[in-house]
Structure 1
Amino acid sequence: MACSRSVFDLPPEIIIEIFTYLKWTDLTEACLVCKLWLKIIQQHLFPAKSCLTITHCNLNDDTEPGINFINSTSKFHKLVIGKSCYVTRNSDKVFDRLQEISQLDLSGNLEWETGLLVKVLQGFTNLNCINIGLALSDQINTRNFVELICSKKIRHVTLHGVNSTFTENLLRILKENQSQNPDYKLGIQFTLHFNCDYESRDKFDTFFEQLSETLPKLEILELTVPFKVKELPVLKNADLNFSKLVKLEITSPKSFEDLKHICELIPNLQELVLWRGCLDFQLFDVFDSLTNLNTLRIQSGLRFAQNEDFCKNLQPKPKMKVLEIELIEGCINVEGFTRLMKCMPNLTHLTLNQSEIKDEHFLIICEHLTQLRELEIDFGKISDTGMMEANINNLRRLKRLKISGCYGITSSAFSNFNTVRFEELTELKLNYLGEIDSTAIKDIVSACPYIEYLSLDGCGSIDDEAVEIITKNLKRLRQFDLYLCIKVTNASVKHLLENCKRLQFLDLSAVNFDEEEKQILFKGIPSLRYIYDFDDGLDMSKYFKGRTLRKRELYCTAIF
């Protein structure tokens, strides 16, 4: 979305709104916008604890972004130095300005070398949390880095993309400090995102032993296993101590047998994330040792094994709260799926994306997961039959419901909604259900009167009558998405003006609204902060002028 006027003619609030709500691809006048950010931050528009993000610029004492930052009076507690933001050595005044920052995020910028990194960190006197991306970790002098972070008040260090050389040096230096000083206690909490480049299992085992011995407080470990590593470590050393580790993320796991070895050593693991693995549903049978597991996320690569014994020996998981599964290959066995749902009776969040979820699976979900607060089903095979036969009364505690891309669902699917009332449901997304119309909307608004966010993206049968029903019944509506609802016309403007007094966000992409009608909406709804549309000719100044600033983050992007 481009501006039809020069950005220099726009009030500061517009710049904030543009950077807060538009996609990065839409920031066509980013350079011009950034030249005004000094004016914005000097007007004390930000709360005391704000986050400043700077990308795509040179930040030193002589460049405009650096000078602006030096002269600003706004207070920031967090600084994010993102992609292509270069902090050069001529930055003494910039570093002096950094003393108030308590959180520093450098994870998006991987082009640091030791001298500059140490110099930057020395400018922070109140720093307690640092997030660093070290894809080029061979360039980092590990000893200087460790000495620096240990000499400060830093309590949490997150390292992204570290390789084996850097990690081994890090562990060795920390161990030396411990051996030289018996009273030495490492007070830093490390989070490691480790790109494993070991080719032998023995080296992998040794690394884990060192990790356990040196970082007993390690809480989060994200492990990327390259395809050349055929097996995960055996890890049979009973002395390994990962009692504090609560989150483990593994990319490209090879088999559930290898996962079992790791899980047995992490008794207190609470969250497990698996990316791009070649696994099947038998992996659920190996989690018996993880009695404290409450979150399991499987991001692509899960295959279903057509086995009648699927999940037969799975022990109850009363602590499981979150289950997210994407890209399931093959249809899930109904008996096995029933066992899986039964063993997680307290599940509050269930996401099944791009999977073969059919009517019978939906019936099982509604029957056994009575504690659900969030349910997402994307591109499944649920039809009207499943929706009408399901005991949806068991889902009445839902706060968030998303059903997307289930093309077998029509308006008839919601006919039984009049038998239940979703008192707590505030977010409803019914995307790409092309057959639902005003008939379904009547049943939905009757059952869900307290919706604040309604998305009907891709619902081509939604028309002005449906919009009228929605606006007259959903008095708390704050965000309304009508992307690709091509039957909605200017006639709906009246209903929005009269009934949506709390509306803040409106997506009218591919909706037949004239620009004049959109201007009327902005003038008539004081709370409305943002309209998204494909139209590149919109005059942003007419829409955002006079709006109050509520967001905490300022994004500055420019190439100077």
Structure 2
Amino acid sequence: MDSSYVFNDLEPSYADLPMEIIVSIFRYLNYTDIQSCSLVCRRWLEASKYSEFQSNVMIRITKLCVSDKLPPGKVFLNSDRPFPHIYMDEATFGTLDHFFAHMGKTAQSVTFESTDLTEKQFCAVLADLCGINTLSIVRCTSLFMTGQFLESPTDRKTIADTMSRVRFLSLKFNQYLSDAILLRITQLISSLEMLDMSGCHIAYHCAIQRRFYPEELANHPSESILTFKFILHVIRAHQNSLKELNFSNTLIGGGAMTALCEIPFLNLEKLLLHSCRQLNTSGIRGFIAAQTNLRTLDLSDTLCVTDECLETIVNNLQQIEVLNIKGCTKVTKKGALLLAKLCGSLKSLNISHCDGISGDAIGEGIASQPNPMLEKLYMSHLNICEDCVTKCGVNLYNLRVLDISNCINGVTDQSVQVLLKNLVLLRELNMEECFRITDAALTGISVEETQPSERPRSLSMEFFHHLPQDNVSEGGSLKISLRSKAEEEIVRDAERKKAMLAVYELNLDESKINGVPIKNLRGLRKLNLRGCNKISDVSLKYGFIFLELRNLLLSNCQQISVVGMEALVQNCPSIEELDLSDCYNINDKTIEVVTKNLKRLRSLHISGCTQLTDHSLDSIVVNCKVLHTLSVFRCRRMYSDIEERLINMSSVRILNMDHSATMDNGDIFRLKKRLDY
């Protein structure tokens, strides 16, 4: 017998592993990886169908007709997989005798957003989705415009069984929602836990309520207006079960907050008030003092949050886990220092755009001591120093998400090195517009001088910031440069890139590199380096090795070319979103390399890449099988009709491009309708 045959026969079969082991391995994978594994064999397919892996699976039908006779509806009818979440985005409805009845066997939530839906269709769909606990109706103008939604007792009876099981209700951004419609919907729900009214046109002023509700009609809900009076009635009816309220982007004020405080058994855990500009400080403080069990509080972009508000939060909300005060410009150092008292519970903090918070307030407050609880920190657009970023890197070592975008002064090569060394659990890192960082920060090379006898000589970080500008002649006399400031910067960047490449190409021993490369963040999934124009191919080639990286944003990084992208696509094979906008060194060869190797690419942004021609479109059409979004603004050398080139790409839903000519071809028109419906 052939010895090679005997060896292969004795090799372990991974398909025959016990199901418990396969499931345990799958727990380390994201959903996309699990989907790929399910195609290997039947046993792995069976493992991928375990409920814990399917609990967040969503069908999102965008700008398509849902019908039993057309894909994708026809395809799903032949599937036995569970799909717990259904999302209809700008969808239309055709013949539907079996689709929702089939999907309703496993559906737990359904969302209708900007969907052309009639009342009869809505009732027929919900009658089939009898197991859902979450219902979202977003921007469905046609459904509520007449004001007679669910007026018929027959319609209410049809969906009564389904609605009785609903626990989470979202009616956001519906301008024609009225008191009568709201009551008809909520009266069918037995126990409501979440109510989302964000973006609705809610009347809070008593004078408006008196106009539409004279004494003789005080208890008859109007079909013309949505008032806080009847919303309060709904909240009172469900006060024993209600845990979450969302009034973001409405005109809710202090009086409404006081009215909520008077509901005796209301015990909220989550309150969202984003961009509620009519709120006042006393109303917020009174509500917080009454609702001491809040775990999530969003007061972003409101004008009422002051240091006194933060003091009330710190003293009363001992269990708070998520706090968002983004854009609250009245908060100062005094209030920021108080946040240190929440170190025992706070997991997510957003202080972006808080102009009154300085770097020393963060360094002496939330980042003043080791904090293992905080997992997400957003502090973009702050005037912080390098020492502040360093303290965050040292003491907030359990961070999973860090946003330091537009923190120009604090984000330098030295401070980034501290982050890369200590924040090894990071999953998302945003350093957009931090243009001071260079390749030295992301590769870890040249942090310190090596011994003079070593060859090649390691270069210090200061060297990369202060490269010679070729303004001294060989004889020592000064030369006058006729370059502009921008041109001088371009030359320095080019020299810096050459120097870094020279160090690596001469096979520098990595053991002599004292810095930490960005690949130390092995679990990184999203990286935003937009506007970091000192980043070059060196970082892509020698620093970026991320097996889990899904989103990479590199727009306005002009030094990136095909050299770096060839290495990137090999070392980061899981990329699903790639932004190369305004990278003028990107050419057709680069796009060919990207599309051939990134098999999971779903979103590609190449706007402003002026070297790209129609050959790039050909590469996209041939290689991108799951592309969903394509942006090609300002690609002036693409002369052909882009819609015609993409007509056979059934996966594309969003196409961002410059104004196109009038289309005569019927097939092109249908594509345009599918994309921009």
TM-score under structure 2 normalisation? 0.58
2:292 aligns with one of 242, 248, 255: 242
Segments of 5+ residues of structure 2 without an aligned counterpart are 1-60, 78-84, 207-226, 445-514
Alpha-carbon displacement from aligned partner over 1:131-188 (angstroms, at most 9, x marks no partner): 224898996369x83995365465543233554875576557866x79xxxxxx8334
Summarize the Cα distance change of 1:269–1:109 in structure 2 as closer, same or farther, 3 Å threshold.
farther
Taking the TM superposition and a 5 Å limit, the aligned residue runs for 1:143-222 are 145=183, 148-149=186-187, 152=190, 154-160=192-198, 163=204, 186-193=240-247, 195=250, 198=253, 206-207=258-259, 209-210=261-262, 213-222=264-273
Alpha-carbon displacement from aligned partner over 1:363-403 (angstroms, at most 9, x marks no partner): 33223311111112222223324344462232232122121
| Alignment match, 2:28 | none
| Alignment match, 1:369 | 423
Distance 1:71 1:465 in 2: 46
SS at match of 1:428: strand
Q: 1:269: Cα distance to partner?
A: 2.1
1:45 aligns with 2:84: no
2:151 aligns with one of 119, 122, 129: 119
Segments of 5+ residues of structure 1 without an aligned counterpart are 1-18, 22-32, 56-64, 179-184, 547-553
Alpha-carbon displacement from aligned partner over 1:246-287 (angstroms, at most 9, x marks no partner): 343443343233123124322222222224311346654322
SS at match of 1:396: coil
Q: Which has the higher contact order (CA 8 A, sep 6+)?
A: 1
> What percentage of residue pairs aligned between the two structures are identical?
16
Summarize the Cα distance change of 1:520–1:243 in structure 2 as closer, same or farther, 3 Å threshold.
closer
Number of residues paired by the alignment?
484
Q: 1:459: Cα distance to partner?
A: 0.5
Summarize the Cα distance change of 1:454–1:308 in structure 2 as closer, same or farther, 3 Å threshold.
closer
Distance 1:147 1:543 in 2: 41
| Alignment match, 2:533 | 407
| Alignment match, 2:371 | 317
Taking the TM superposition and a 5 Å limit, the aligned residue runs for 1:437-452 are 437-445=561-569, 447-452=571-576
Structure with more strand by fraction: 1
State whether residues 362 and 382 of structure 1, in contact with CA within 8 Å, keep that contact through their aligned partners in structure 2: no
1:20 aligns with 2:51: no
More deviation, 250-259/496-505: 496-505
User: In angstroms, what is the RMSD of aligned CA positions?
Assistant: 4.8
1:487 aligns with one of 601, 611, 618: 611
Alpha-carbon displacement from aligned partner over 1:216-252 (angstroms, at most 9, x marks no partner): 14433426553673556444997x4432543434433
| Alignment match, 1:16 | none
1:515 aligns with 2:640: yes
1:383 aligns with 2:437: yes
2:179 aligns with one of 127, 140, 155: 140
Summarize the Cα distance change of 1:322–1:114 in structure 2 as closer, same or farther, 3 Å threshold.
farther
State whether residues 312 and 339 of structure 1, in contact with CA within 8 Å, keep that contact through their aligned partners in structure 2: no
Which residue identity does 2:128 align to in structure 1?
A: E
Q: 1:350: Cα distance to partner?
A: 1.7
State whether residues 242 and 266 of structure 1, in contact with CA within 8 Å, keep that contact through their aligned partners in structure 2: yes
Summarize the Cα distance change of 1:498–1:164 in structure 2 as closer, same or farther, 3 Å threshold.
closer
Alpha-carbon displacement from aligned partner over 1:302-333 (angstroms, at most 9, x marks no partner): 344364884257454322222223433x3x12
SS at match of 1:408: coil
Summarize the Cα distance change of 1:145–1:504 in structure 2 as closer, same or farther, 3 Å threshold.
closer
1:130 aligns with one of 158, 169, 173: 169
Distance 1:427 1:45 in 2: 27
Q: 1:440: Cα distance to partner?
A: 2.9
1:393 aligns with one of 516, 519, 536: 519
Taking the TM superposition and a 5 Å limit, the aligned residue runs for 1:225-374 are 225-226=276-277, 229=280, 233-235=284-286, 240-243=290-293, 245-250=295-300, 251-278=302-329, 279-280=331-332, 283-287=335-339, 288-289=341-342, 291-305=344-358, 307=360, 310-312=363-365, 314-328=368-382, 330=383, 332-356=384-408, 357-359=410-412, 360-374=414-428
Distance 1:173 1:439 in 2: 61
Alpha-carbon displacement from aligned partner over 1:18-44 (angstroms, at most 9, x marks no partner): x937xxxxxxxxxxx9xxx58x46547
